[in-house]
Amino acid sequence: MSRYPLITYRHGITGRSRLDVAFQAAGLHPEVVISAQDSDVIKTYVELGLGVGLLADMSYHRERDAGLVSLRAEHLFEANTVWLGVKRGQLQRKYAWRFIQLCNPQLSLTEIEEAVFATAAPAAALDYQI
């Protein structure tokens, strides 16, 4: 059993299986007391004192989550790759381009649009880990 009650994503949510694998590889049996679909729900339960939250790094915002303490744990878990897909050559609304760019700050909006409208499939043009 783990030392602290844990609050994390429910099974089926991207990344949850990597948490389970990491605990299993370490020979630990986590006590997940609450599973949630959303990081804001996880943070709310943590603020209520119900356990320690395990969530995606991009879910924590220092100013907005002032009542929480963030401890980096990427050295404990494998990286998780998230894929964003759009139909090649199809125009998107500006918010879609901006969302992709927010997920991939290394890419400019121009680079994203060029990759989507390229005639030949670029070799991993948008294959960036977030």
Q: What is the pTM of this model?
A: 0.65
Tokens standing for residue 116: 């989507």
Residue 96 lies in a domain: yes
Check if the beta carbon of residue 61 is closer than 8 Å to that of residue 34. Answer: no
In a domain, 75, yes or no: no
pLDDT tens for each residue of 76-127: 888 777 777 777 777 777 888 788 888 878 888 788 778 878 765 544 445 5
In a domain, 95, yes or no: yes
Do 52 and 89 fall within a single domain? no
> Is the pLDDT confidence value at 10 over 70?
yes
Residues 49 and 88 in one domain: no
Nearest to 81 by CA among 20, 14, 21: 14
Determine the structural domain holding residue 12 and report its residue range.
5-59
Q: What is the CATH number of the domain that holds 38?
A: 3.40.190.10
pLDDT value of residue 1:
58
Q: What angle do CA 44, 30, 65 make, to 5 degrees?
A: 20
Question: Does residue 104 fall inside a structural domain?
Answer: yes
At 106, list the tokens: 């290394």
Structural domains in the chain (count): 2
The answer to whether residues 86 and 123 belong to one domain is: yes
Residue 3, both tokens: 């030392």
Q: Using an 8 Å Cβ cutoff, are 31 and 2 in contact?
A: yes
Contact 96, 86 (CB under 8 A): yes
- Which tokens in the block code for residue 112? 């994203």
Angle between helices 109-117 and 94-103 (to 10 degrees): 110
In a domain, 76, yes or no: no
pLDDT in tens, 54-67: 988 888 898 999 99
Tell me how far apart the alpha carbons of residues 108 and 98 are, in angstroms, rounded to a whole number. 9
Residue 100 lies in a domain: yes
